[in-house]
Structure 1
């Protein structure tokens, strides 16, 4: 089941990259390195999931509770530090195609928890508005500073 979900996600990334290429021919092209990069991302995810499942048997609570995303990140980091090939082929995968797929899966996962969100007090809305405003304000401020420093 996990393997097929990972395969579906890799296929979605490839589909999004292809659509982006159709809309903008100057964007990241689909090459054999793209397929190798997607294969490596699939493999890193699978290894991270397997490590997470194995760590559930460890008696230390901090290791048992470590998220799958953390294990996948560690596996990816180790392999990319050891091999420039990994970095090269993963660079052939369009970053925005990856984020689009990740955000789609995040949206799907959040919808399963809407009942939990509705139980949270209305005060979370105020906190969320301040967080969103603060993030937007700081992003624009940092961008403006960077543009001024670069002379634009």
Structure 2
């Protein structure tokens, strides 16, 4: 139990600086008043914290933390959820694109110590990455095209 508590607190302590960066980014980029950001950030932080705890408590299915977060957020925002309006109205004030930039930078920094492992993957991984990104882009464009034609928007 002590080890579980230590692991959970360690993982949550990594999340706290990320939330600070996101909060400051929101203030600077969007000039959102802090009183509008704090409730949404608190709800989001609670979802992430609960996801970290769940990920460490439940071994089957072995889902990563972001999957638990996505699941909990989806359940909380279901039309039948009594807290749907509270969650959507408060978390909706957090701009997604402003949030993504520091998170991607943080993720890039976190893989910095894994460069020797990345070098072992060789140049073939770059080709695979390009194929995956292009496939995702063209697949999304195809789906968008079909939906727009189906709804008579083009």
Task: Settle same-fold status: TM greater than 0.5.
Answer: yes
Q: Does 1:49 find its partner at 2:49?
A: no
Q: Extract unaligned runs of 5+ from structure 1.
A: 23-28
Q: 1:9 — aligned with what? A: 18
- Compute the TM-score of the two structures, normalised by the length of structure 1: 0.74
Is 1:18 aligned with 2:19?
Answer: no
Q: Which runs of 5+ in 2 are unaligned?
A: 1-9
Scaled by the length of structure 2, the TM-score of the pair is: 0.73
Is contact 1:52–1:67 with CA below 8 Å preserved after alignment?
yes
SS in 1 for 2:111: helix
Structure 2 counterpart of 1:69, from 59, 66, 69: 66
Find the aligned partners of 1:140 and 1:19 in 2 and give their Cα distance: 32
**Equivalent residue in structure 1 for 2:38, among 35, 38, 60:** 35
Give yes or no for contact 2:55–2:64 (8 Å, CA) kept in 1. yes
Aligned length, in residue pairs: 138
CA separation in 1, counterparts of 2:89 and 2:30? 19
